Structure 1
Amino acid sequence: MSKFYFTFLLVLVAAHAFAQKYKVAGLVKDENGKGIPGVIIQEMGTNAKGITNDQGVYQMYVHYGNATLIVDFEGFDKVKREIHGIGTQNFILKSIGKTKPATIVGSRNLKTRSEDLTSPVEIIDVKKIASLNGQFDLTQLLQFVSTSLNSNRQIGADGTDNIDQVSIHGMGPDQMLLLVNGKRRHQSALINLSGSYGRGNSSADLNTIPVAAIDRIEILKDGAAAQYGSDAVAGVVNIILKETTNGFSANANAGIRKAKYNRDSSFVDGLNYNANLNYGAVIGRKGFINVTADYNFRNHTNRSNTQPDSIVRKQFGDPRVYNGSITFNASLPINENLEIYSFGGYNYRQTESFAFSRTLLKKDSLYKIYPNGFDPVISRNIEDRAATVGVRTKWNGFNVDVSNTYGFNKFHYKVNHSLNESFGKGTPTSMDAGGFKTNQNVTNLNLSQFYDDILQGVNLAFGAEYRMDWYNIFSGDYFSYRTYDPLKPTGARGFRGYSPAEEISKKRYNAAGYVDVEAKISKRLSVSAAGRYDYYNDLGSAVSGKGGLRFNITNELTLCGSYGIGFRAPSLAQQYFSNATVNPTTAPLNIPTEKVIARTGSEVLKTLGIPDLKFENTQNASAGLTFSPDKNFSVSVEGYYIKVQNRIILAGPISQNDRLVGPGLQKLHIDEARFFTNSLSTSTAGADLTIKYGAELGAGKLNIAVGANYNTMAIDTIKTTERLEGKQASYLNRRERYFILSAAPPTKVNLTLDYTVDNLTFMARGNYFGKMELINNYFGQLDKTGKVYTEKDYVDIYKPVIQTDVSIAYKFDEYLSFAIGGSNILNVYPTMSKPNKTISGGAWDSVQMGNNGAFFFAKVFYNF
């Protein structure tokens, strides 16, 4: 047997030596002629590879005389080259800092790079920052890297605890469009209802895409409805998936929080661990497939032990999350003019969060079930899947891209450690509460051609899009929503389930066409113009337009600006979501009344005179200057203005006590009604500042990056219907207005320093969050003496704070690297309030850096 293994080994070695018969050697250097050590040169489609020494010299054996070599090194553009039988292959790598990676978002020109655009685009190298930061999921990673983007993780906000809302420049989460590889991504089925940022909005769920699957992220910080259609009011986030083909890589991350204000006095809590595996391989000669599998677990935190005299929640903190994903990206060129591509993924998330604490009186027949009170646990099973299939080809000089993208999201509630008090003895303590789901299918046809013989170059693009959307609400089991005793609360405590009366299934379609022109008038001046026509079968038509220019004042100083008009279509969830809560009666024979969120076209809205939803109308303007004297230094400042009219809000409540419409609500047995309506006009203005500097320092390289955002929003008007004229305070009270106005801190500043010497990298970062104000539960209430609370009592002021992060990373060789560090190492918290005042039920609402304190982590990376 041993002879067999020995013979088999000799055969393998001989075959390997025979297969790798062409010797290739050379030098890999940067633009300054300096050799780059540690660069891996790989033969495409095989395991053959070489690595440069300290002088940048390499030597290797390849399988074929026409082999293609891939040189991909962090900080430089990737190079692919066929050797054509030549044994000496030298490479000059261009640094990303000089050339910048090609961008998709904001342009249809396949040759355009970010420095050619008329609108500002921020490019984030996810591969680099993920290794140095303590955030394991995408939304929180972006929250502490980009100053123009905000994502405050919500606590105590029902389903919003599980879908991190993301916005650009403090606009609504549904006013930002998400693309993946340039294709529209579907939204979550969840609509935010609790007192939190993004109330009344639906948004895409970025955390369905694992960080390990992403190459870079492009943030277009300007309205782009004329280019991409609805939702691109404040800007666009474009996620570019990895295309690497270097075999397997694995990553394991673990971290834990320093537990302050924990009720059980634990020193730590909130264990978070993440593991992922990425595999990239060549398909055929020039195709690729890249697959990522990712698992992330995050345990509860508890920050409820702040003031013993003010406890409304025994459990207040992050939910427990089990999150698993698989993502793929692939391309297969058939010939020089035809390429088939596909990408997508599947995500499943199970979460558990605590509702407000409950107690039962000793005389209650159910007291024995929870003699010490209970904290209902709301569980959500969230399923998300997406897939795109497309073809790129050429036709009559045009680059043609035809694709179809399908997306699905399902949000399913379950309630545990609860009861249906109205059922009495025998009540179940766990119930299925129903939920909602959404589907989207988008078919695109895009054509573009670059004319280098017109002016200094003109790119013409045009195309069409056909989109279908579906929205469904499905009911839970009858214990979760039914009332058995009208004198007692109905349904599951903690979260009432959806009933058959709330079930609905709706769909709509949207057809659109666009034209997009980018022209270089001279060596210094470029202009762009885009127009788009959209038709919705239930809303009618909308026209969008945008124009921009870019002028190189000097070789180092550039001016750019744009202006556009656009729209946002209401989501199907905003049109058709409904929910009812039954009020206990005072007598057994009384007919219970309900507090409702009424859907479009319902009898409730007809009674109130609320019209069907229509488009939001938008205007965007931006202007900026960029100064870049060399590849090591750049500074840019961009101002922006966003005007939204007919902005959709969740209005109300309107009470049956109202003199005009109250009698109509009483006939419908409605106590209070809320509804979605186009009532708000807002104006947002601000500026983004970005400074980047790199220099050789001692034996290493120092990089300094400064990002700053100043943002202000004003509510211009609140329109009511004729029947509810003068009731602006009922439509949107001061508390709800502050939630809209405080979606982002007025000032956010990020200072990051990283220093690399040999294989060691140090990173230090400070994030400054400006002062924020929110209205608490004392608004409109009386104090113990019977006096109305003053503004000083009901305005919670969160003072400016700074979060400090540090990390150290060490690369042992081309295979293994390691990092340790901490986020918020000084354990800073926002200004404390009182739990009985905040809408979250904790000592803080979800503002600034959040209220979980310090987080310490370790990361290991291994390339097979």
Structure 2
Amino acid sequence: MKQVFLLLLLCFAFTGFAQTTVVTGKVTGTNGEILAGATVVEKGTSNGTTTDAQGRYRLTLLSKTAILVASYVGFEKQEMAAQPTLDFVLPEGNLLNQVEVVGSRSLNRSPTDTPAPVDIIDIQKVTSRTGQLDVNQLLQYAAPSFNSNRQTGSDGADHVDPASLRGLGPDQTLVLINGKRRHQSSLVNLFGTRGRGNTGTDLNAIPAAAIERIEILRDGAAAQYGSDAIAGVINIVLKSTTGVLEANVNGGAYQAKYRFDSKKFDGLNYNVNANYGVSVGKDGFINLTGDFNYRDHTNRANTNPGDLARRQYGDPRIQNASVYLNARIPLSEKTQLYAFGGLNHRKGDAYAWTRFAGDDRNVPAIYPDGFDPIISSKIEDRALTVGVRRLIGKGDLDFYNTIGQNKFHYLVNNTLNTSLGAASPTSFDAGGFKLLQNVTGLRYSRFYKTVLQGFNLAAGAEYRVENYQIFAGEEKSYKSYVPGVAPGSQGFPGFQPSDVVNKNRNNLGVYVDLEADLTKALMVGIAGRYEHYSDFGGTMNGKLSARYKLTDYLTLRGTASTGFRAPSLPQIYFNSTITNFVQGKPVEVLIARNDSKVTQALGIPKLKQETSQNLSLGVTLNPAANLSLTVDGYLVKIKNRIVLTGQFSDDDDVIGEDLKALGVGKAQFFTNAISTTTKGLDVVLTHRMPLGAGHLTTSLAANFNKLTIDEVKTTPKLEGKQDIYFDIRERYFVMASAPPSKINLGFDYALQKWNFMVRLTRFGEIKLADWNYDPQKLDVYTPKVTTDVTVGYRFSKQIGLAVGGSNVFNVYPSMFTPSLTETGGAWDPVQMGSNGAFWFARVNLKF
């Protein structure tokens, strides 16, 4: 904290040396009408303001050479070079070309003017300065409240990185594409992973090359956008550029520190992408993106040869290919057709736990030295949205349909079925699952500029249909052919015919969202949403928000809302028999679906929705032209959070006989077991100053979090067994999803054709309980700081080059005993990763 306060003082001190540039002016229409509430923004930044009742504005610039952009609902936006006095005259335009910012359904609201914090992340700028290639890792460093961990030894989660906002569950963040709901992954996170028992959205199925910007609403928004928006909303806005072919070639590798062999580098990463758009009629376009990303294995198993749990421990091999479309076709002056979506195909190879030569599950005739099973995946993700927008008077009517599907197919290689002996195959089809979602929606929005100081009405309805399926693998992947011998393919037993599921549900939601500028200084918003699910009934939620401008430099903002999240179909119906490892020893565990004979016999209730109460209060401060500061505190209380219980065995003194009667050795379940409270603080500080012939931008972004578990609820039959129902390891996994802090400090210096970036990231302390279950001997991951450095040079408008490194000092997390960690390596999955330094180069081409 001392470093943070020192930086604040330095940044304020810098303002005394930087020259302030202020622009004043007026915004009117071509007929001379005053445009009160028009937005004026400094292009390429979040620095902006709105006009007063006389159409006048005053804006303190970050740069002397800024370009200002003025916009107003129903008028064409204009861009002009800044000068001390600058008036805009906006011609009437097409309302259909206006884009709303997540967090406000008013098309006349800029991201700097919303009552809740919204991060606007320019993906092109971020990707040109960092070594991260996928969306999850890009956001990991660009947004401190965003958390994502790469997994190893975690079955499906090795192939789909779980991610979350503000330390809540992966399924408590809603993802939108161009403002429309994105389908979730069919994967439910199980072993060795954060977000255990949760589903989530696979952000890496969307190529970064197709994205213009990402908007992150850091506030509960279930009343505005629907289920899953307890922690916030991530809105991904696709590119709409035309006439420019942009291509990127990226490559890099990790500097290996722990390997069996003498290799100095591993984990080769490379990416090739291209984007091009063509104009269609007036204001129309078709934009296409192709992207291929390859990531090879890393291996960090050689940390403690005296306690070797795995010979292969590190990133899986991933091949990720995507094609994406974004299009808008004008049908008339008042009607347009739009479409966007894409296809993603991913192949993954992840190492499971080692079966050493003397393991009773090995067949020496096949693997005399033992073997490392490889859990392979074929993931197909596809989505398409088609809609029509039409002007109805001065309002905007939007009718659309979004369909998306995620299919996860398991294959197991370099393995065997022990019960088949030397005749066993070494590869198996293990089955899998898929989730389909179809959303049909109708929205209407209208801005009344003469009501108060501006009033926006938005209302709509959505009808959603979901289907979840589990399909079985081949018989040899799950069956034992010799009594008493472990069944199925080692590493990941296949899904059995008894696991097969094909379930549907539907949901109808209706909402009203109102915003009014009561005065030039005070904005108030109210939203209400009712949703009815076919499987558990209805829920009503609301949100109040306000923003008050104390001065031109100081603004207060706050929200209060209720929220909900419906249990996902995978949480309700997922079931399987899998092999888990306890202190390095394999144990067969049944995960029983919510309506199974096992759960009914044990009195496990039906899953119901999670509910939340969200409060936030923040301040934005712009004391000088080159300095901005936002501070937002939040409180989120969630009841009936869905988790995966601990394992109950057939020797339990209460339910052991029930399990034996059902032929189950160990069992666990999804249940609404806990209630939590999360308190946190987001701080974002940006300072810009001239330095020599260039400009230095300094940014500090920090998230501070504290999650407490308020209650653990068991069933009447299992009362008193809270330590199994939700044991100490599960408690610390949930709390680790909300790291106490993450702080990013970045320096970005632009000098003519050169660009230099240095970024320091401090990852806060994480505590986890290992397989010893000893609260006095926790695995404590002490705070660590990583350093990223990038140097970029633009040879011409057509060619640019960037080289650099992430974690250049090769810093690793604290190390622990491999056989006692969840994953069998020296580290559990933590935010900073355990691969060490990554060195990269990137070539950018524009034609």
The alignment's TM-score, normalised by the length of structure 1, stands at: 0.86
2:647 aligned residue: 653
1:103–1:218: 8 Å Cα contact kept in structure 2?
Answer: no
2:636 aligned residue: 642
Cα deviation, residue 742, structure 1: 0.6
TM-superposition CA deviations, 1:789-826 (whole Å, max 9, x none): x5443x11111100100001111111111100000000
Over 3 Å counting, the alpha-carbon distance change for 1:102 and 1:688 in structure 2 is farther
1:177 aligned residue: 174
1:329 pairs with 2:323: no
2:248 aligned residue: 251
1:516 aligned residue: 513
After the TM superposition, which residues 229-378 of structure 1 pair with which residues of structure 2 at under 5 Å, given as runs? Answer: 229-361=226-358, 366-378=363-375
Over 3 Å counting, the alpha-carbon distance change for 1:76 and 1:278 in structure 2 is farther
| Aligned counterparts of 2:721 and 2:359: Cα–Cα separation in 1 | 44
2:805 aligned residue: 822
Figure out how many residues of one structure are paired with residues of the other and give that number.
764
2:492–2:578: 8 Å Cα contact kept in structure 1?
Answer: no
Cα deviation, residue 93, structure 1: 4.1
| Aligned counterparts of 1:663 and 1:218: Cα–Cα separation in 2 | 53
| Aligned counterparts of 1:736 and 1:580: Cα–Cα separation in 2 | 20
SS of the residue aligned with 2:688?
strand
Over 3 Å counting, the alpha-carbon distance change for 1:76 and 1:662 in structure 2 is farther
Runs (5+) with no aligned partner, structure 1: 1-29, 34-73, 81-89, 585-592, 780-789
Cα deviation, residue 654, structure 1: 2.1
| Aligned counterparts of 2:645 and 2:603: Cα–Cα separation in 1 | 13
Over 3 Å counting, the alpha-carbon distance change for 1:358 and 1:521 in structure 2 is same
| Aligned counterparts of 2:336 and 2:695: Cα–Cα separation in 1 | 40
Over 3 Å counting, the alpha-carbon distance change for 1:201 and 1:229 in structure 2 is same
2:80 aligned residue: 92
2:356–2:362: 8 Å Cα contact kept in structure 1?
Answer: no
Over 3 Å counting, the alpha-carbon distance change for 1:696 and 1:329 in structure 2 is same
SS of the residue aligned with 1:128?
helix
1:431 aligned residue: 428
Over 3 Å counting, the alpha-carbon distance change for 1:730 and 1:792 in structure 2 is closer
Over 3 Å counting, the alpha-carbon distance change for 1:582 and 1:521 in structure 2 is closer
Quick check: 105-114 or 798-807, which moved more? 105-114
1:594–1:669: 8 Å Cα contact kept in structure 2?
Answer: no
TM-superposition CA deviations, 1:749-792 (whole Å, max 9, x none): 0001111111111000000011111111122xxxxxxxxxx544
1:715 alignment partner, one of 709, 715, 725: 709
| Aligned counterparts of 1:209 and 1:269: Cα–Cα separation in 2 | 25
RMSD between superposed Cα atoms in Å:
2.2
1:560–1:625: 8 Å Cα contact kept in structure 2?
Answer: yes
| Aligned counterparts of 2:548 and 2:115: Cα–Cα separation in 1 | 9
2:752 alignment partner, one of 739, 758, 762: 758
TM-superposition CA deviations, 1:101-144 (whole Å, max 9, x none): 96521111111111221111111111111101000111001111
Cα deviation, residue 744, structure 1: 3.3
In structure 1, give the amino acid aligned to 2:451.
Answer: I
Over 3 Å counting, the alpha-carbon distance change for 1:297 and 1:581 in structure 2 is closer
| Aligned counterparts of 1:147 and 1:215: Cα–Cα separation in 2 | 20
Over 3 Å counting, the alpha-carbon distance change for 1:529 and 1:452 in structure 2 is same
Over 3 Å counting, the alpha-carbon distance change for 1:134 and 1:365 in structure 2 is closer
1:190 pairs with 2:187: yes
| Aligned counterparts of 1:382 and 1:717: Cα–Cα separation in 2 | 37
1:161 pairs with 2:155: no
1:808 pairs with 2:791: yes
2:742–2:762: 8 Å Cα contact kept in structure 1?
Answer: yes
1:558 aligned residue: 555
After the TM superposition, which residues 335-484 of structure 1 pair with which residues of structure 2 at under 5 Å, given as runs? Answer: 335-361=332-358, 366-484=363-481
1:799 aligned residue: 782
| Aligned counterparts of 2:577 and 2:492: Cα–Cα separation in 1 | 12
| Aligned counterparts of 1:837 and 1:856: Cα–Cα separation in 2 | 31
2:104 aligned residue: 107
| Aligned counterparts of 1:201 and 1:250: Cα–Cα separation in 2 | 36
The alignment's TM-score, normalised by the length of structure 2, stands at: 0.88
2:810–2:836: 8 Å Cα contact kept in structure 1?
Answer: yes
In structure 2, give the amino acid aligned to 1:746.
Answer: P
Cα deviation, residue 594, structure 1: 6.3
Over 3 Å counting, the alpha-carbon distance change for 1:485 and 1:217 in structure 2 is same
SS of the residue aligned with 2:816?
coil
| Aligned counterparts of 1:162 and 1:94: Cα–Cα separation in 2 | 48
TM-superposition CA deviations, 1:446-472 (whole Å, max 9, x none): 101111221111101111000001100
After the TM superposition, which residues 526-565 of structure 1 pair with which residues of structure 2 at under 5 Å, given as runs? Answer: 526-565=523-562
Runs (5+) with no aligned partner, structure 2: 1-20, 25-64, 72-77, 89-97, 582-586
Over 3 Å counting, the alpha-carbon distance change for 1:808 and 1:416 in structure 2 is same
| Aligned counterparts of 1:372 and 1:862: Cα–Cα separation in 2 | 49
1:141 pairs with 2:138: yes
In structure 2, give the amino acid aligned to 1:105.
Answer: V
| Aligned counterparts of 1:235 and 1:801: Cα–Cα separation in 2 | 27
In structure 2, give the amino acid aligned to 1:800.
Answer: P
Cα deviation, residue 91, structure 1: 6.3
| Aligned counterparts of 1:78 and 1:822: Cα–Cα separation in 2 | 35
Over 3 Å counting, the alpha-carbon distance change for 1:643 and 1:94 in structure 2 is farther
2:100–2:106: 8 Å Cα contact kept in structure 1?
Answer: no
1:413–1:435: 8 Å Cα contact kept in structure 2?
Answer: yes
| Aligned counterparts of 2:158 and 2:67: Cα–Cα separation in 1 | 39
| Aligned counterparts of 1:240 and 1:364: Cα–Cα separation in 2 | 50
In structure 2, give the amino acid aligned to 1:738.
Answer: Y
In structure 1, give the amino acid aligned to 2:405.
Answer: F
SS of the residue aligned with 2:258?
coil
Cα deviation, residue 191, structure 1: 0.7
Over 3 Å counting, the alpha-carbon distance change for 1:657 and 1:364 in structure 2 is closer
After the TM superposition, which residues 47-58 of structure 1 pair with which residues of structure 2 at under 5 Å, given as runs? Answer: none
| Aligned counterparts of 2:69 and 2:297: Cα–Cα separation in 1 | 42
Cα deviation, residue 360, structure 1: 4.1
TM-superposition CA deviations, 1:185-229 (whole Å, max 9, x none): 000111111121011111100001111111111100010000111
1:848 aligned residue: 831
Over 3 Å counting, the alpha-carbon distance change for 1:851 and 1:393 in structure 2 is same
In structure 2, give the amino acid aligned to 1:859.
Answer: R
Cα deviation, residue 163, structure 1: 0.7
Larger of the two Rg values belongs to structure: 1
Over 3 Å counting, the alpha-carbon distance change for 1:447 and 1:804 in structure 2 is same
SS of the residue aligned with 2:724?
helix
1:696 aligned residue: 690
1:607–1:661: 8 Å Cα contact kept in structure 2?
Answer: no
